[in-house]
């Protein structure tokens, strides 16, 4: 049996013994002992609830209750001139003695976090700009684009790499699957590259949340604790974090916002890489990975051509551009073609 169980048994026994000796309700022994058990049970229930409350909140509640009791005592002393024989005055005194300690208890418990040692010591520290934390998740480290963004200087604040993210990266790097193993090792290389960048503040946080089993939930709790933002490219983590009130910096959204804006009717130069799914289609890709589907371009595979943009489609997976290749030889008869060749010679 744990020591807390022994302490509770001793406490209940002591209260029952006091009730047996003093008989607070009068009457028989059984009634007083039953009353003692009820009182002891209420206090044990209160103690159980207080276990789930931080010590700072408990101290704040005690200080608030004491302040409310002192204020009620001062108000009662100030009303010495009132007629204490009047039931209304007695009720007013009693109400003040109940209400003010109750308000102090509730407000003190709610504001108890201000009594935490870190905040108390912060009062005596010089004012410095608050650090802005950017918490990296596993997917964005493996993705690798975060390193390029950091090199450009667009990421401000302190990059935080949680220890549980490092552990997950290590597990991926040690996987029996060669693809997963390569992804994990790539993530570790990217992280090492980020740590070596000059002028970039990177810290490894040992903070963990054992009650949370999933890494995504641990990231959300850490972001709440640090008042920071999660850097990710995970769509599901993005949605869950937003539902829980945590800000997210999504690398995919940043990439989509930086893609070039094209309008129907504009001309662009692309390299036809392969044939498309539909008849006589060719497929090209821009430097940022945007797919360009070109009609009448199947015969131009392996060549760089000018296409006219016909439409732009924005999907959840990204942007797709549709265009048409206008063959300068189309519509010309044999005579026109031979004349053109003759002029070229």
Q: Are residues 82 and 189 in the same domain?
A: no
Would 148 be classed as within a structural domain? yes
Residue 217 CA to residue 240 CA, distance in Å, equals 9
Q: Are residues 224 and 266 in the same domain?
A: no
Would 124 be classed as within a structural domain? no
Give the pLDDT band of residue 68 (cuts 50, 70, 90): confident
Q: Are residues 296 and 234 in the same domain?
A: no
Q: Which of 223, 256, 289 is the last residue of a domain?
A: 256
Please give the pLDDT value at position 310.
92
Residue whose C-alpha is closest to residue 190's, from 169, 176, 219: 169
**pTM of the entire predicted model:** 0.49
Please give the pLDDT value at position 20.
83
Q: What's the average model confidence in pLDDT over 301-310?
A: 91
Q: What's the average model confidence in pLDDT over 324-335?
A: 64
Average pLDDT value for the chain: 81
Residue 35: strand, helix, or coil? helix
CA atoms within 13 A on the CB side of 185: 9
pLDDT exceeds 90 at position 127: no
Q: Are residues 252 and 265 in the same domain?
A: no
Would 292 be classed as within a structural domain? yes
Q: Are residues 235 and 182 in the same domain?
A: yes
Tens digits of residue pLDDT in 159-215: 999 999 999 999 999 988 888 899 999 999 999 999 888 888 888 888 888 888 888
Residue whose C-alpha is closest to residue 66's, from 113, 31, 101, 15: 101
Tens digits of residue pLDDT in 143-167: 888 988 888 888 878 899 999 999 9
pLDDT exceeds 50 at position 332: no
Please give the pLDDT value at position 335.
41
Mean pLDDT comparison of 38-47, 83-92, 218-227, 330-339, highest-scoring range: 218-227
Residue 176 CA to residue 210 CA, distance in Å, equals 27
Q: Are residues 173 and 246 in the same domain?
A: yes
CATH of the domain at 271: 2.40.50.140
pLDDT exceeds 80 at position 142: yes
CA distances from 98 to 61, 65, 81 (A): 15, 10, 21
pLDDT exceeds 90 at position 323: yes
Would 128 be classed as within a structural domain? no
Would 207 be classed as within a structural domain? yes
Torsion 184-187-193-195 (CA) sign: negative
Give the pLDDT band of residue 294 (cuts 50, 70, 90): very high
CA distances from 331 to 334, 336, 344 (A): 10, 10, 19
Q: Which of 197, 226, 256 is the last residue of a domain?
A: 256
pLDDT exceeds 50 at position 26: yes
Tens digits of residue pLDDT in 210-232: 888 888 999 999 998 888 999 99
pLDDT exceeds 70 at position 343: no
Would 187 be classed as within a structural domain? yes
> Structural domain tally of the chain?
3
pLDDT exceeds 60 at position 14: yes
pLDDT exceeds 90 at position 290: no
Q: What's the average model confidence in pLDDT over 55-60?
A: 76
Of 63-77, 125-139, 229-243, 247-261, the poorest mean pLDDT is in 125-139
Give the pLDDT band of residue 125 (cuts 50, 70, 90): low
Please give the pLDDT value at position 339.
42
| DSSP-assigned letter for residue 157 | S
Tens digits of residue pLDDT in 73-121: 888 787 777 776 777 777 787 888 888 888 887 887 777 666 666 565 6
Residue 9 CA to residue 41 CA, distance in Å, equals 11
DSSP string, 99-138: HHHHHHHHHHHHTGGGGSHHHHHHHTSPP-PPP-EEEEPH
Look up the domain containing 35 and give its range: 3-117
Q: Which of 68, 86, 117 is the last residue of a domain?
A: 117
Please enumerate, as own/partner, the contacts of 176-183 that have beta carbons within 8 Å and a separation of 24 or more.
183/142
Please give the pLDDT value at position 341.
41
Q: What's the average model confidence in pLDDT over 218-247?
A: 89
- Percentage of residues of the chain with pLDDT beyond 70: 87
Residue whose C-alpha is closest to residue 137's, from 176, 190, 182: 190
Q: Are residues 43 and 74 in the same domain?
A: yes
């Amino acid at each position: 049996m744990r020591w807390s169980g022994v302490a509770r048994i001793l406490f209940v026994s002591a209260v029952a013994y006091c009730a047996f000796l003093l008989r607070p309700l009068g009457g028989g022994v059984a009634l007083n002992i039953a009353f003692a058990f009820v009182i002891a049970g209420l206090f044990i229930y209160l103690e159980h609830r207080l276990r789930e409350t931080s010590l700072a909140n408990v101290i704040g509640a005690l200080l608030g209750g004491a302040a409310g009791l002192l204020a009620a005592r001062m108000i009662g002393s100030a009303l010495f001139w009132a007629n204490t024989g009047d039931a209304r005055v007695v009720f007013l005194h009693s109400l003040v003695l109940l209400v003010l300690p109750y308000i102090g208890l509730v407000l003190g418990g709610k504001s108890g976090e201000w009594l935490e040692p870190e905040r108390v010591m912060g009062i005596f520290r010089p004012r410095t700009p608050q650090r802005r934390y950017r918490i990296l998740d596993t997917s964005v480290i493996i993705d690798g684009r975060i390193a390029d963004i950091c090199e450009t200087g667009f990421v401000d604040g302190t990059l935080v790499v949680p220890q549980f993210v490092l552990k997950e990266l290590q597990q991926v790097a040690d996987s029996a699957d060669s693809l997963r193993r390569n992804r994990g090792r790539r993530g570790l290389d990217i992280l090492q590259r980020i740590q070596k960048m000059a002028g970039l503040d990177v810290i490894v946080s040992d903070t963990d949340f054992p009650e949370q089993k999933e890494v995504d939930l641990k990231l959300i709790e850490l972001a709440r604790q640090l008042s920071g933002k999660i850097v990710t490219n995970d769509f599901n983590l993005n949605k869950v974090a937003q539902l829980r009130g945590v800000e997210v910096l999504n690398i995919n959204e940043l990439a989509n916002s930086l893609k070039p804006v094209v309008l129907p009717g504009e001309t662009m130069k692309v390299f036809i890489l392969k044939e498309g799914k539909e008849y006589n289609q060719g497929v090209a890709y821009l430097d940022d990975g945007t797919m360009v589907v070109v009609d009448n371009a199947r015969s131009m595979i392996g060549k760089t051509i000018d296409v006219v943009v016909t439409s732009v489609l924005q999907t959840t997976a990204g942007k797709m551009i549709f265009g048409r290749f206008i063959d300068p030889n189309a519509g010309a008869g044999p005579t026109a073609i031979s004349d053109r060749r003759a002029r070229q010679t």
